[in-house]
Amino acid sequence: MLLGDTLMAFTLRSTLRLLLKPALSPRLPLAWQRRWLGMLSGIGRLPRGIARRDATEAGVVVERWEERAAIAAASCTLLFLHGGAYCVGSPRTHRPLAAWLARTCGLPVVVPDYRLAPEHPFPAALEDAWAVYDALSARGPVLLAGDSAGGGLALALALQLRDRGRKPPLGLVLLSPWVDLRAAQQPPPVPGEAMLSADWMQACAAHYSAGAVDDPRVSPVLADLRGLPPVLLQCGTDELLCVQARALDAALRVAGVDSTLEVAEGRWHVYQLHAGQLPSADAAVGRIAAFAGRCRQDARA
């Protein structure tokens, strides 16, 4: 297992550095970046027995992943907000992760195609995420998750739900969340980073924030974090956003939130996207499933 994980990690990291990282550049048109990411999404491996259904929730197009044998409305739904620095990415780019989450957690996973910047800057993504959550929560409990910018968006949504007195999610799963978009907080280069660059992140932050980088709905680590549901944070040592995950975990603990931080040694940004290929990614998804199970059990207690 360890040798196979190491060899696969080397292959995947090399592939990302060759095919993905150069494409995520402020010097390339976002439209081209989106098309390229869509093409690369086909290299992932999907689990058997899980089906995708295209649907609409509250006017937002979504992809829904669940077991083919599912015959009734589930008692809980996992709402997953995809990453992509608010400017790229889509449900398509996250299909392998969504499908493996559905299989491992035993829950339907809904991935919204929320509006992207710069065509639709803040608060468009947050409004879409709210609308989908509102529709899903009317039918049952929701576990809220997201990666990278989607992780920041999930946290911002949970804070908005708290502030407006709405039904909270059972828990939050944040994978390498981008929770501070301020330029002064962009981290220095990390040698092992296989996907991100600070200049690309800064350009995307400007596209999305519309000058509101200090707004806690844009940089949710700046918010009062008290009263949030349990949080599971996962990141890797070899990524730019590891420092933000650590800072968020510390802030959550100070605020009295039940927060668990898992830092994977030698892993890159959102390595969980390689579930079904990388054993350590499968293990991380397994821990997400265990966390989801605890949240559901606590809600029933």
**Catalytic, out of 57, 239, 259, 280:** 239
- The answer to whether residue 57 is catalytic is no
Number of domains forming the structure of the chain? 1
Quick one: average pLDDT of 193-209?
Answer: 95
Quick one: average pLDDT of 272-295?
Answer: 97
At residue 8, the pLDDT reads 94
Closest CA to 33 of 114, 118, 96: 118
At residue 73, the pLDDT reads 54
Q: Where does the chain show beta strands of DSSP type E?
A: 50-57, 60-67, 77-81, 109-112, 142-147, 172-175, 231-236, 259-264
**Catalytic, out of 148, 176, 259, 280:** 148
Residue partners of 27: CB distance under 8 A and separation at least 6 = none
Quick one: average pLDDT of 3-23?
Answer: 93
Domain residues for the domain of 185 are 2-300
At residue 42, the pLDDT reads 85
Quick one: average pLDDT of 258-279?
Answer: 97
User: Amino acid identity, residue 167?
Assistant: K
Q: Which residues of 211-223 are buried (b: 16+ CB within 10 A; e: fewer)?
A: eebebbbbbbbbb
- The answer to whether residue 137 is catalytic is no
pTM of the model as a whole: 0.97
Q: How many alpha carbons fall within 13 Å on the CB side of residue 97? A: 26
Output the domain CATH number for residue 79.
3.40.50.1820
Tokens of 262: 């898992």
Q: Is the model more confident about 43 or about 150? A: 150
Strand duo 60-67 + 50-57: pairing: antiparallel
Interval 82-137: pLDDT, tens: 999 999 999 999 999 999 999 999 999 999 999 999 999 999 999 999 999 999 99
